[in-house]
């Protein structure tokens, strides 16, 4: 009997990350998740907990190595859920954020997920051809909408940059899927901080099954799944 597939969740917070892990576990996946508070051991549920610092992209390959060591296979699904932003020290000056802070936040929002995608592809090449291989990035509406809030500056920069390479990767690789997942209200407006963890878990599981013809820019609504907004 074939071994159960593995999902690696990078950025395992209490809402989206935890819900995604629980949903995939219920679907028979073995779970590895990485966070700043990771223990390096297995949880009571049998999930592999890894400690991560997403401001350091060169630390990402070690997380994939740890997964392969524990489960003797590469993750077929990789979910990138980490994010970072910096509040401008001068509230009315969006460009008062230091270049150093912008660079660190871009590492979290763009460079580390890019390295994770590179690692994912390397591992996918060792998996059976029939295995569905999926990279999912937790996005938001900032790649298509300018929200006039200074706090959103470097988060929006990172989301926008990542949306581009994710879309390009999905368009140019054969046999792999890359998704920029973006939860919306039913009217298409951004969910902001009102995101629903369980809805992400449900939708990400659908994306991993390559159900329907969901595009790389995977906008979705709770209880409806993919919904196209223009």
User: What is the CB neighbour count within 10 angstroms for residue 203?
Assistant: 25
Nearest to 17 by CA among 80, 84, 108, 100: 80
Catalytic residue, chosen from 42, 51, 56, 159, is 159
Can 129 be counted among the known catalytic residues? no
* Buried residues in 5-17 as b, exposed as e (16+ CB within 10 A): bbbbbbbbbeebb
> SS3 for 66-98, per residue?
HHHHHHCCCCCEEEECCCCCCCCCCCCCHHHCC
Name, in order, each residue with C-beta under 8 angstroms of 165's C-beta and a sequence gap of 6 or more.
Answer: 110, 114, 117
Q: How far is CA 106 from CA 37, 62, 98, 119, in A?
A: 21, 20, 12, 19
Q: What is the DSSP string of 147-177?
A: ---GGGHHHHHHHHHHHHHHHHHHHH-SSEE
Q: Is 188 left (phi over 0), alpha (psi -120 to 50) or beta?
A: left
Residues serving a catalytic function are: 159
């Amino acid at each position: 009997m074939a071994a159960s597939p593995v999902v690696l969740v990078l950025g395992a917070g209490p809402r989206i990350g935890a819900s995604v892990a629980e949903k995939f576990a219920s679907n028979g996946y073995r779970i590895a998740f990485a966070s700043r508070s990771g223990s390096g051991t297995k949880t009571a549920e049998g999930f592999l907990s890894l400690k991560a610092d997403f401001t350091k992209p060169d630390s990402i390959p070690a997380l994939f190595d740890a997964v392969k060591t524990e489960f003797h296979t590469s993750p077929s699904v990789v979910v990138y859920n980490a994010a970072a932003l910096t509040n401008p020290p001068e509230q009315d000056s969006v460009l008062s954020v230091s270049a150093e802070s912008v660079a660190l936040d871009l590492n979290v929002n763009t460079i580390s997920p890019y390295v994770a995608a590179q690692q994912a592809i390397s591992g996918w090449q060792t998996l059976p051809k029939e295995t569905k291989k999926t990279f999912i990035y937790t996005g938001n509406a900032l790649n298509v909408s300018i929200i006039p809030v200074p706090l959103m500056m470097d988060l929006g920069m990172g989301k926008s940059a990542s949306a581009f390479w994710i879309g390009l990767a999905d368009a140019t690789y054969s046999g792999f899927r890359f998704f920029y997942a973006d939860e919306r209200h039913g009217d298409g407006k951004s969910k902001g901080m009102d995101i629903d963890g369980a809805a992400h878990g449900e939708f990400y599981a659908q994306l991993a099954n390559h159900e329907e013809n969901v595009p790389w820019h995977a906008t979705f609504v709770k209880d409806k799944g993919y919904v196209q907004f223009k």
